[in-house]
């Protein structure tokens, strides 16, 4: 059997019953086989061309896709960038506004602080003025009380009995004591003189007035100088108005005794026993409180 290389599985009957055709077929087969090589070659070339075209198209498509993506990406990011840019500007503007607001708040705070300090200073000054006025009020009230007590007839701090005013140095200063001469000088400086006791009422008034004016537990140390002395004539007690005391009724028992030959000035001392026995003689240089007297207004 003749081998047909081109159509391997073609029906054998067909070729055996028609030799011509078999021959033709063989011829045809050879022709076909020969032309087929060109066809195959053409097909191969075509495939190569198609492959090149396909590759080219693929590359182009890839570029187009990439470009499309890039374009898409650019298209997508463009508004975002502008949005971010706008937001950035807004944030900066908001920051500037906040900065201005903060600066304004700081200025207001500083101004408010200054105002508070100023008001505090004013308040302190007012407080000092209030304290000053309060002190003046207290002094005025004390003066009013003193004036009311003496009905304006005596100076502030002085006491009144009938038509006379009396100054007890203890009330001005319990610490200050003077000798007899200096005590008298103080009374004169005040427009008065050491007290001259003219009546029993006055004796009792002065004696009672000094009852609580004590600075020492030594009773002899709590005396007050009065305006009587025997310095000019020992034993002759004369008031500073040149009136000589003739009786001894206001002297304490045993006084005046001119102890040590040096007691020439009269002192009055409170006695719980009797308001009539309150005077004694003492050394004129001793420090005592003193009692001034002057006529009332
Ligand atoms: Ca004497
Ligand atoms: Ca004496």
227 Cα: distance to centroid of ligand 1 (angstroms): 14
pLDDT at 36: 58
β-strand 193-194 against 289-295: which pairing, if any? antiparallel
The DSSP letter of residue 212 is T
Nearest ligand, CA of residue 265?
1
Q: Using one digit for the tens of pLDDT, what is the confidence trace for 47-72?
A: 666 667 556 666 664 564 555 545 44
Phi/psi for 58 (5° steps) reads -60, -45
Dist. CA 258 → ligand 2 center (Å) = 5
The ligand with the least distance to the CA atom of 180 is 1
The pocket of ion ligand 2, defined by CB under 5 A, consists of: 257, 259, 263, 280-281
Domain ranges of the chain: 155-295
CB contact set of 27 (below 8 Å; sequence gap of 6+): none
Model confidence at 164, in pLDDT bands (50, 70, 90)?
very high
* pLDDT (tens digit per residue) in 106-119: 999 999 999 989 99
Cα 277 to averaged position of ligand 2 atoms, centre (Å) = 13
pLDDT band with cut points at 50, 70 and 90 for residue 135: confident
- The ligand that comes nearest to the alpha carbon of residue 281 is 2
CATH 3.10.100.10 fits 155-295, yes or no: yes
Picking from 268, 263, 269, 260, the residue whose alpha carbon sits closest to that of residue 282 is 263
C-alpha 241 – ligand 1 centre gap (Å): 18
Q: Which residue has the tokens 């003025």?
A: 129
Distance 208 CA to ligand 1 centre (A): 26
């Amino acid at each position: 059997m003749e081998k047909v290389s081109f159509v391997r599985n073609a029906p054998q009957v067909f070729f055996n019953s028609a030799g011509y055709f078999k021959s033709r077929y063989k011829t045809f087969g050879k022709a076909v086989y020969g032309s087929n090589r060109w066809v195959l070659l053409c097909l191969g070339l075509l495939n190569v061309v198609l492959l090149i075209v396909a590759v080219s198209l693929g590359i182009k498509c890839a570029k187009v896709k990439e470009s499309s993506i890039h374009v898409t990406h650019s298209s997508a990011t463009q508004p975002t960038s502008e949005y971010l840019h706008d937001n950035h500007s807004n944030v900066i503007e908001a920051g500037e506004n906040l900065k201005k607001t903060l600066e304004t708040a700081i200025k207001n705070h500083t101004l408010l602080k200054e105002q508070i300090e100023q008001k505090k200073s004013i308040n302190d000054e007012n407080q000092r003025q209030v304290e000053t006025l309060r002190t003046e009020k207290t002094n005025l009230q004390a003066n009013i009380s003193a004036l009311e007590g003496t009905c304006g007839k005596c100076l502030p701090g002085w006491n009144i009995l009938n038509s006379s005013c009396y100054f007890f140095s203890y009330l001005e200063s319990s610490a200050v004591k003077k000798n007899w001469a200096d005590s008298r000088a103080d009374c004169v400086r005040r427009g008065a003189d050491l007290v001259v006791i003219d009546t029993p009422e006055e004796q009792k008034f002065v004696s009672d007035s000094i009852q609580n004016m004590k600075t020492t537990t030594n009773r002899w140390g709590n005396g007050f100088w009065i305006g009587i002395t025997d310095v000019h004539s020992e034993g002759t007690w004369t008031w500073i108005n040149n009136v000589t005391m003739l009786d001894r009724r206001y002297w304490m028992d045993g006084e005046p005794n001119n102890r040590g030959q040096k007691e020439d000035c009269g002192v009055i001392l409170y006695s719980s026993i009797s308001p009539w026995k309150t005077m004694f003689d003492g050394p004129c240089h001793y420090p005592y409180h003193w009692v001034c007297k002057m006529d009332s207004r």
